[in-house]
Amino acid sequence: MKKKIYIAGCGGMLGEAFYTQFRNDYELKCTDKDVNEDWLSFLDFRDLDAYKKDVEEFQPDFLFHLGAYTDLEFCEEHADDTYNTNTLAVENAVYIANQLNIPVLYISTAGIFDGKKQFYDDWDQPSPIGVYARAKYMAERFVVENAGRYLVCRAGWMMGSGPKKDKKFIQKLMKQLKDGKRELFIVNDKDGTPTYTHDFAKNVKALLEKEYWGLYNMVCGGQTSRFEVAKELIDLLGLKDDVKLTAVSSEYFKKEFFAQRPANERLLNRKLDLRNINLMQDWKVALKYYLQNYYSDYLS
């Protein structure tokens, strides 16, 4: 008999990858407050009573808590809503998982570090700046300190699910190209590590099946910057002769992106490497794969 996973907040770019990677081997119940797929049902995980009831009725073997606000500007302007959604809802998940005596998965972020170091491994001490980072870090701490069995997996610059659900860097660039822009302004003072959603979901699955509980950095291989990612994207699309990339500092976008961001979000998958279970591809390989699978006809 298949084991059961309840996935809360499954309507976004990460949810699509988890649904795809787990659906054949597990019985899933996928919920979100935005029911945008026929395999989703409605749940607002901020409502503890409703969350608890829905999970208990399904009687899962694992509880995955995926959803969060990820728009940093929104988070700065709506702090209470952000703490309710990104922190207290995670506490809800821990209460429910502990009550059912099942493991809980929580998705953390490279953004919880202040960016002053060159690299961050799994044991570096976070120092969040801004509401989003603080809310995510306090949720991470709550899981680590209170859950019976848990996986906390820290993602970097997320990419996945294509134009429908990707609201991040790659899709923002693809939209500009589709709209006919032939000069892209890219910040050259932000370093980090892309994270392909499907690689991420596969690596979570491997940890789950080995029962390697704990906290893990989980980003694609290779260290890079926003500018380098944009350059690689243009190269892969065969547009390097047609599109000009202009390097700018973060100040250039200060009006639109006013929330403070760390200058460096580079993570090292040190624990995955030491446990010999690092399935994350190099970011360039993952980016190529992502474009082939989700954007093959996007520019035509």
Q: What confidence tens digit (pLDDT) does each residue in 64-95 have?
A: 999 999 999 999 999 999 999 999 999 999 99
Residue-range domains of the chain with CATH:
4-163+194-223+264-282 (3.40.50.720)
pLDDT tens string 129-172: 999 999 999 999 999 999 999 999 999 999 999 999 999 999 99
> Which one-letter DSSP state was computed for residue 87?
I
pLDDT at 212 (0 to 100): 98
Report how far residue 271's alpha carbon sits from residue 278's, in angstroms, rounded to the nearest whole number. Answer: 8
Q: Which amino acid is at 103?
A: P
Reported as a pLDDT band with limits 50, 70 and 90, residue 116 is very high
Among 78, 88, 13, which Cα is nearest to 45's?
Answer: 88
What pLDDT, on a 0 to 100 scale, did the predictor assign at position 298?
A: 66
Q: What is the pLDDT of residues 170-229, one digit of tens each?
A: 999 999 999 999 999 999 999 999 999 999 999 999 999 999 999 999 999 998 999 999
Q: Binning pLDDT at 50, 70 and 90, where does residue 300 land?
A: low
Taking only the tens place, the pLDDT of each residue in 20-52 is: 999 999 999 999 999 999 999 999 999 999 999
Listed residue (1, 7, 98) closest to 45, CA to CA: 7
User: Across-strand partners of 40?
Assistant: 30
Tell me, what's the pLDDT at 296? Answer: 87
Please tell me whether the overall predicted TM-score, pTM, comes out greater than 0.75 for this model. yes
Q: What is the pLDDT of residue 155?
A: 98
For residue 33, the 8-state DSSP code is S
Residue 63 has pLDDT above 90, yes or no: yes
Direct distance between the N- and C-terminal alpha carbons of the chain, in angstroms, rounded to an integer: 45
Beta bridge partners of 231: none
